Amino acid sequence: AQTVTQSQPEMSVQEAETVTLSCTYDTSENNYYLFWYKQPPSRQMILVIRQEAYKQQNATENRFSVNFQKAAKSFSLKISDSQLGDTAMYFCAFMKRRIQGAQKLVFGQGTRLTINP
């Protein structure tokens, strides 16, 4: 069974600083997707960034980038020039890449990130 672990329950940084959130996962699959979702106080789940395991290049979306280390099964999220609006719960998630058949979308425990003014 796949598991996703986020070892940092809470983090806090000053506005404009850079912060890195950690995520490790356990799987025997070779093809899969990894995600970072943001959950602000509104509870809405918002996709931040997505990585496909067969792509070696790390995904980037504006101020958000990942460090994907497939062999180490590590998928960290870096937020550059952090903003007050980045304050939220962040979840790492895993899903197998399959054409058909059952597949679960598995989440980590979450990291509560606070950006201080």
Residues that bind other proteins (CB under 8 A): 6, 33, 35, 43-45, 47, 50, 91, 93, 95, 97-110, 112
Query: What is the rounded CA–CA span in Å between residue 49 and residue 58?
Result: 10
**What's the half-sphere exposure (Cβ side, CA atoms, 13 Å) at 83?**
5
Least distance from other proteins to the Cβ atom of residue 111, Å: 10
∠ CA(52), CA(44), CA(4), 5° rounding? 40
Q: How far is the CB of 83 from other proteins (least distance, A)?
A: 22
Nearer to other proteins, 30 or 44 (CB): 44
In terms of CB distance, is 101 or 117 closer to other proteins? 101
| Smallest distance from other proteins to CB 105, Å | 5
How near is the Cβ of 112 to other proteins at its closest, in Å?
7
Calculate ∠ Cα 18-116-23, nearest 5°. 45
- Closer to other proteins by CB, 57 or 71: give it: 57
Contacts of 100 (CB under 8 A, 6+ apart): none
Dihedral Cα 86, 87, 91, 97, nearest 10 deg? -10
Q: Which is nearer to other proteins, 50 or 70 (CB)?
A: 50
